[in-house]
Amino acid sequence: MTQAEIKLCSLLLQEHFGEIVEKIGVHLIRTGSQPLRVIAHDTGTSLDQVKKALCVLIQHNLVIYQVHKRGVVEYEAQCSRVLRMLRYPRYIYTAKTLYSDTGELIVEELLLNGKMAMSAVVKKVADRLTETMEDGKTMDYAEVSNTFVRLADTHFVQRCPLVPATENSDPGPPPPAPTLVINEKDMYLVPKLSLIGKGKRRRSSDEDATGEPKAKRPKHTTDNKEMWPLAYSQSQHSRVNSEFQFTFQTQTSSEIVRTMLRMSEITTSSSAPFTQPLSSNEIFRSLPVGYNISKQVLDQYLTLLADDPLEFVGKSGDSGGGMYVINLHKALGSLATATLESVVQERFGSRCARIFRLVLQKKHLEQKQVEDFAMIPAKEAKDMLYKMLSENFISLQEIPKTPDHAPSRTFYLYTVNILSAARMLLHRCYKSVANLIERRQFETKENKRLLEKSQRVEAIIASMQATGAEEAQLQEIEEMITAPERQQLETLKRNVNKLDACEIQVDETIFLLESYIESTMKRQ
Amino acid sequence: MAGNKGRGRAAYTFNIEAVGFSRGEKLPDVVLKPPPLFPDTDYKPVPLKTGEGEDYVLALKQELRETVKRMPYFVETPEEKQDIERYSKRYVKVYKEEWIPAGPKSKKAKDTGKGTSLTNTADVLKKIEELEKRGDGEKSDEENEEKEGSKEKSKEGDDDEDDNAAEQEEYDEEEQEEENDYINSYFEDGDDFGADSDDNMDEATY
């Protein structure tokens, strides 16, 4: 794990869980898998605090444990999972767009608590919704359960592995750490909840759907639903979707591609290079209801898409009216390249961007050729090339003419290695997010006194309004905060908002680059 | 390699044309220090994306940040023990929802906590009796209050209470040992003071 990643992980853990958990988490990320005593000794924290921190981390799926030989249990942190915490608001928003408020709240509860039993989630979400609804109305549990089932069906939530129940438990001592097993098929099974009644007065009786033996009954509270990796792939599809909207000229073609993506959500894993082949008939059937284009028009669109030089959509066969696949790897590659180009343009100017695109297109170019093709004077071209070289957007490829690699008899070619440039950019993104978070914390700390004062004043005003105070008194309390202080607060708020928005946007780039790198690595 | 540097014109081992510099041209300056921390940029960054979606995600992010602080998963750092326990501290504590993952260990901790607090209250009672005998009125009142305070909180098995009570005990013991204000090691016989120290000295005094 690079230093930048570790720093970012440390900041994220600190914001979410406090200093102690951060210390333990970062220690585990840095040193890999370790047993409990070693962690306590190395970090100098007491055993209970280490235990508490590990509990929190395991609950949130950030640390896994394994039993090694001689019964030693070792804990290992997963850095990529910690970095994923940056994306939580984006997940909640995606759930909102697809499943409305209920879905949003379910996802939010699961993210806040790491893992939860279905019954607990449904109860909490229904109560929250009831609070926001008008007086007299209550949220039906069944509706919330339905949304939950839909989330499970589209793989937004996933079941956690359970401790296997042994009917005839052996009399020996229990193992030092339970081994969790999960059947692939069961991952998205939802237990049948029959919640009797609705609203505040209710009795819920949870029943296992498959009629499992009674021994499992007391353990059914561990029948948890866990969230994380799937919102990731889901979000990916929706992101790639939104990118497609820009690349495709017409509304219709983007709609067709979106339908294809939706259909292949469940069948394709997040890092597959191609979606499963879909026949044109299936696509026609699954188009959204409002779209009434005829079959021939759809076929024409599909042919055009398949012939497009961008190669996002490919034709893989002729059965069923033509089988079409979406080339995810290509799509991600072109998105990553577009990101790189845009970064070069914004950092170095449009002439540099021209050189960059040229080298990208021609793969390998010599110094002289670059000047000729780009039609930029030699001195400037040289300067720009070296600037990009020093920042590692462009790399040099040596081609020796003689076996002794003499510099006077070697060709030096400029080339763009997209994978390594993407990695470099990703590393910079991590650094920038870490910087943004630090700056935001600094700003907040600087104005801590002022923030506390304003919070107190707000609390006073709220309590006075509740007890029915007069306008004059409220005015007086409000004047406790002077005008320059108010302005300072405004500036602070604006800055913090801006920094937060920056983090969100950099996170989008991180998502894209990570997906591209993952997809490329899988192919190799 | 570096031998030819001082003598006459620089001679390159490779074709300088290939890298793009023509002969005799001024080479770029040698960089002697690390680049500045905040270099001036020619191109300012592009403005951020705005829109309803972005605003909503921003609001979600800020709310999430506030909410996680209130969750039981946010482990507060324990405060350092202070030498003098402030009386007001007990009554300013804010209670947060306790999250204890189900397990045998948590039960054990609770039991031992209760045990020690019970013994502490027994000790405290003994102390109070002793003090009452001495006739130290003010102190016993304080002790009574502390005793009641510790009894109430002993049910929770709070470790802090034990420590504070223990500290209070130690403090009392120290005070009781000193019947007077004088240091025990003070010599009343002034003559022996100087003589004793000279006994073992082999070296001459200056």
ipTM computed for the complex: 0.81
**Dihedral angle of Cα B119, B122, B127, B130, to the nearest 10 degrees:** -140
This prediction's pTM: 0.73
Q: How far is B105 from chain A (nearest CA, A)?
A: 10
Contact A505 B48 (CB under 8 A): yes
Q: Write out residues 400-429 of A within 8 Å (CB-CB) of B.
A: 406-412
Q: Is B84 on the interface with A (CB under 8 A)?
A: no
Backbone angles phi, psi at B36, to 5 degrees: -65, 155
Q: What CA–CA distance (Å, rounded) separates A444 from A493?
A: 9
Testing the interface with B: which of A49, A55, A57 to mutate, by most B Cβ within 10 A? A55
One digit per residue, pLDDT tens: chain B, 206 residues? 554 455 555 666 666 665 656 666 666 678 888 888 887 877 888 888 888 988 999 999 999 999 998 888 888 877 766 677 777 666 656 566 667 665 444 444 444 434 444 455 566 677 777 767 665 444 444 444 444 444 444 344 344 444 444 444 444 444 455 556 666 655 555 555 544 445 555 555 55
Q: What CA–CA distance (Å, rounded) separates A179 from A157?
A: 22
Q: What is the DSSP letter of A162?
A: B
Q: Is A21 on the interface with B (CB under 8 A)?
A: yes
Q: What CA–CA distance (Å, rounded) separates A465 from A446?
A: 30
Nearest CB to B54 within list A15, A49, A501? A501
Contact A408 B49 (CB under 8 A): no
Testing the interface with A: which of B64, B106, B163 to mutate, by most A Cβ within 10 A? B64
Contact A59 B73 (CB under 8 A): yes
Q: In the predicted model, is pLDDT for residue A495 greater than 70?
A: yes
Amino acid occupying residue A77? A
Q: What is the pLDDT of residues A177-229, one digit of tens each?
A: 555 545 444 555 555 554 443 333 333 333 222 223 333 333 333 334 444 44
Find, in chain A, the residue whose alpha carbon is nearest to that of B76. A18
Contact B57 A406 (CB under 8 A): no
Q: Is A88 on the interface with B (CB under 8 A)?
A: yes
Contact A18 B21 (CB under 8 A): no
Q: What CA–CA distance (Å, rounded) separates A273 from A20?
A: 41
Strands in A63-67's sheet, in edge-to-edge order, are A34-35, A73-77, A63-67
Q: What CA–CA distance (Å, rounded) separates A52 from A19?
A: 12
Amino acid occupying residue A268? T
